[in-house]
Structure 1
């Protein structure tokens, strides 16, 4: 039975899409020249027409299911249907019921399906349930679990044994269980990444350069996104931070690395520099000096910078 998540009007809309397409398909199938002279050509076309109709029927069933049971818009359903083809509803119904059991709301389930439609054809017992059980044993509340999966549904299609559990154990070897949960809430992407490609080499580089475990733990727990950058770019950012006079044994190095690692972060840094120069009359040396003493001054939004005010200029240097 299809899970009745949405209104009758939406149901009718889905059925109207199916009916119209079926009618169009049937019309294309029936119209033709049946004269004897065309029997040979017809024998070649008929199997293709039957196959096309079956394919169209399955496609329309998928679209209708995505609309009526998952809450997708007609446009979203058509787009998502390019990634999967449902043969019937029981399997997909079981997936929706399982997600609901673990605390996902109808809106959250709709977002999950829209983001990762192939989840509807995943085996609920063999593929999804073990991962849901693992994450529910790690995360404190069902609300948190629902938000994590809504934000990153790709987690449910990663290998539990080869990806998720090893990543959890890797993080747990560096930071507390509480901080691992925080990473899962805030930067769950790391559970999808091949940590050996960039994360591990980046951490090893910091160790080789003398960063203490306390600072590495700070980076892993609160600035995890920095570690995903390609090793070459990460190494270049580390050298840039060192050249500015930051001490690798202090937490300010971690904050500065966050501000300068990655194109987006550097763009924010450059924007902040220009704001300070334009609005407060800072020189380049003033900017670098303030950054060394308080790296977070270069990661604030323009609104916060202006709210901070020129009157705090001297405090910035004394912090």
Structure 2
């Protein structure tokens, strides 16, 4: 018998036979404290963690070294609150396993409930709330009065809408609970002093959060470099350029080499970067995949991609291949002329327009064209 089996056997011996009960909504029902197996304090804690929080025996023993449950009623109230907010059994188990001291909260109604209510009040859905708290327990540990509300107020002034604040909490909760930090405040002030409008500040916070948390000297240097390249601080491109220039030099050089592998010159790279700074943040795999398809399969020149780098921001599987497959069929059938097409005209137009111009109008002559677009039929089979 392995170590895990030995531990489980020992725990079950301590706990005695406990029958799990089921309810129609939550699966296993919380076993009341009066039914916890008798024994020493450690045994009672392990029993509770296994049978009420569904930790594995090994995890329960490890957690029992961090928390001693002297009042099971308090722990019961914590679990009941999580269920009230529709935390699943698995989410509760993971939360308790990672942060067992939550079960020691003296009064869940006064301590935890207001924090959950606050997140709901600013527009976070119940599903997002559960996911966010499950992934970032610090939202429950930090003071509502001294941390969460001041952070929310600070961000609200910067990004205007509750929806954007909720986005930041959902995707960068670590940033939310450590705010407002001295460097972050100084960095934001520098951006606003330069004339960055609120939408650029919001984009910076949402999409390039880690740049905002850099030391002020480093942040200032990035801003100076971006200004030196001719980007205006009132444009979203300024923020995107900040994101691109904040990567390590080794990563930047790798991207340069990938583009040069396809024949781009230094001038091509600089020109593409000026139009789409994010082209230096696209993965090497994405660059190779797009260039391979557009150049080798479609026959476009590499320089055309350099002249219109926005295509690198589109999904290869969901946008580029479906549209280009339709174009290939139409070219092979002689229904359109290659000279009338540009990479921009094919890739940028709205879906409805593309379907109307290149699919619907030719269905009477190529009935399978829509299936080609949905990648149900290969170009060679039409």
Give the TM-score of the pair, scaled to structure 2: 0.63
Q: Which of the pair is proportionally richer in helix? A: 1
Could you tell me which of 112, 121, 126 is aligned with 1:137? Answer: 121
User: Quick check: 1:14–1:67 contact (8 Å CA) kept in 2?
Assistant: no
Choose from 71, 76, 85 the match for 1:93.
Answer: 76
Q: Give per-residue Cα distances to partners, 1:6-27, cap 9 Å, x unaligned.
A: xxxx9x9757327479xxxxxx
Partner in structure 2 of residue 306 of structure 1 = 288
What is the Cα deviation at residue 128 of structure 1? 0.4
Query: Alpha-carbon deviation of 1:258?
Result: 2.0
Choose from 128, 151, 154 the match for 2:135: 151
Map Cα deviations across residues 234-271 of structure 1 (whole Å, 9 max, x no partner): 222222323333222221111121233365xx665444
The alpha-carbon distance between structure 1 residues 164 and 306, as it changes in their structure 2 partners (threshold 3 A), is same
Partners of 2:52 and 2:184 in 1: how far apart?
40
Measured in 1, the distance between the counterparts of 2:114 and 2:69 equals 23
Higher relative contact order (CA 8 A, sep 6+): 1
CA distance in 2, matches of 1:64, 1:267: 52
Superposed CA offset, 1:32-89 (max 9, x none): xxxxxxxxxxxxxxxxxxxxxxxx9433433333333223333433443343222242
CA distance in 1, matches of 2:247, 2:255: 15
Match of 1:242 in 2: 227
C-alpha separation in 1, matches of 2:47 and 2:273: 56
Whole-angstrom distance in 2 between the partners of 1:109 and 1:288 = 51
**Structure 1 residue runs of 4 or more that deviate by more than 6 Å after TM superposition:** none
| TM score, norm. by length of structure 1 | 0.74
Q: How does 1:115-194 map to 2 (within 5 A)?
A: 115-123=98-106, 124-175=108-159, 176-194=161-179
Which whole-Å CA distance do the structure 2 matches of 1:231 and 1:155 have between them? 26
Q: Matches of 2:152 and 2:291 in 1, distance apart?
A: 43
The verdict on how the C-alpha distance between 1:197 and 1:79 changes in structure 2, with shifts beyond 3 A counting, is farther
Q: What is the alpha-carbon distance in structure 2 between the residues aligned to residue 199 and residue 316 of structure 1?
A: 35
